[in-house]
Amino acid sequence: MSSAVFRTALITALAPLIWGSTYIVTSELLPPDRPFTAALLRALPAGLLLVLYSRQLPARPHWGRLLILAALNIGCFQALLFVAAYRLPGGLAAVVGAIQPLLLMGLLWTLEGQRPAQLAIGASLLGIAGMAALLLSPDASWDALGIAAAFLGMACMALGTYLTRRWQTNLALLPFTGWQLLLGGLMLLPPALLADPPLPALSLGQGLAYAYLSLFGALLAYVLWFRGIARLSPVAVSSLSLLSPVIAVLIGWALLDERITGVALLGLLTVLGSILLVQWAANAPVPAAQCALD
C-alpha cells in the first residue's frame, strides 16, 4: 500500500470516527424517542448547505442514479439503522453491521468477477469476531425484525458504496454529496413526521447538538466518506466503518466511566488489527482517470 493510499485511508477514517460520537450526543443531549427526526435534521440541513454552496445541478440522465444512491446511502440506510437500534442492543446491531465488508466482497465477486483475497476474507471474519468480543453480551435479545433491519441496512450501505464507486455523474464531490444528503433527507421526512412525536422547544445545548450532527456528522463526514470511496477499494472503505462502534466504546469509557473488560479490550485490538489487514489486502493505487469524484 503506497503512502498516498495510506494517507487517503487515514483521512477517510475520520468519517466513522465522527460517526462514533453520534451515540453519546444522541443519548446525552438530544430529546429522547425521536430517531427519524434526528436522522432528518442530520441529513437535510447539510444537504441544503452543500447544494446552495456548490450551485451545480445534476445532468438530467443522472437524476435516477442520484435518487437510488440517496436512498441507499442516506434514506433507507438511516431509517433501517434506527429501527435496528431501537429493537436490538447496540452491541448486537454493531456485530451484524460488521458483515458489510464481506457483503461488498460478494458484490464485487458476483457482479465483476473480482475474487476477494483470502487475507481480506480472513481479516473481515476476524473483525466480526472482535466486534462480538468487544460489544456482545451473553444475554443479548435476538429480535427477528431488528436483525432483519440491521442486515438490510448494511446491505443498503454495501450496495450504495459499490454503486457510488461504479456510477459516474457530472457532479464534483461537494454537490454529489449535497444532493444525496438533500434527497435522502427528504426521504426521511415522512417517517419523522408520522412516527416521531413533535420536537419540544430546544435548549441551547440541544440546538448545538443537532448542529454538530448535521455539520460534522453529515456534511463533513459524508464528504470525507464519498471522497474515500472514489479513491480507495470499496472493501477497504467499508472496513473503516468498524471504527464507529470502537470510538463509541472509547468515548463511553472516557466520558461516561463505562468499563472495558479484558475480553472487550482484546476484541477492540482485534477489530483494529482487522481494519489494518483489510486495508493492506484490499487497497491499491487507483489511476486518476478512474476517480469519478476527483
> Looking at residues 117-131, what average pLDDT do you find?
87
Ranking 77-81, 133-137, 253-257, 286-290 by mean pLDDT, the lowest is: 286-290
Contact status, residue 108 vs residue 235, Cβ threshold 8 Å: yes
pLDDT band at 288 (very low <50, low <70, confident <90, very high): very low
Residues 6+ apart with CB under 8 A from 67: 183
Phi, psi dihedrals of residue 79, rounded to the nearest 5°: -65, -50
pLDDT tens by residue, 6-41 = 899 999 999 989 988 887 888 788 888 888 998 999
Highest mean pLDDT among 7-11, 32-36, 253-257, 259-263: 7-11
For residues 10 and 31, what is the distance between their CA atoms, to the nearest angstrom? 33
The whole domain housing 225 covers: 3-290
The pTM (predicted TM-score) of the whole model is: 0.87
pLDDT band at 144 (very low <50, low <70, confident <90, very high): confident
pLDDT band at 90 (very low <50, low <70, confident <90, very high): low
Give the pLDDT score at 290: 41
Give the pLDDT score at 140: 58
> Looking at residues 145-160, what average pLDDT do you find?
87
Number of domains in the chain: 1
> Looking at residues 171-192, what average pLDDT do you find?
96
pLDDT > 70: what percent of the chain?
91
For the chain, the straight-line distance linking the first and the last C-alpha, in angstroms and rounded, comes to 20
Residue by residue, DSSP assigns the chain as --HHHHHHHHHHHHHHHHHTTHHHHHHHHSPSS-HHHHHHHHHHHHHHHHHHHH--PPPGGGHHHHHHHHIIIIIHHHHHHHHHHHHS-HHHHHHHHTTHHHHHHHHHHHHH--PPPHHHHHHHHHHHHHHHHHH--TT----HHHHHHHHHHHHHHHHHHHHHHH---S--HHHHHHHHHHHHHHHHHHHHHHHSPPP-PPPHHHHHHHHHHHIIIIIIHHHHHHHHHHHS-HHHHHHHTTHHHHHHHHHHHHHS-----HHHHHHHHHHHHHHHHHHHHH-----GGG-TT-
pLDDT tens by residue, 188-243 = 999 999 999 999 999 999 999 999 999 999 999 999 999 999 999 888 898 998 88
> Looking at residues 74-88, what average pLDDT do you find?
81
Give the pLDDT score at 64: 94
Is 286 a residue whose pLDDT tops 50?
Answer: no
Q: Is the dihedral of CA 120, 121, 126, 129 positive or negative?
A: positive
> Looking at residues 255-276, what average pLDDT do you find?
84
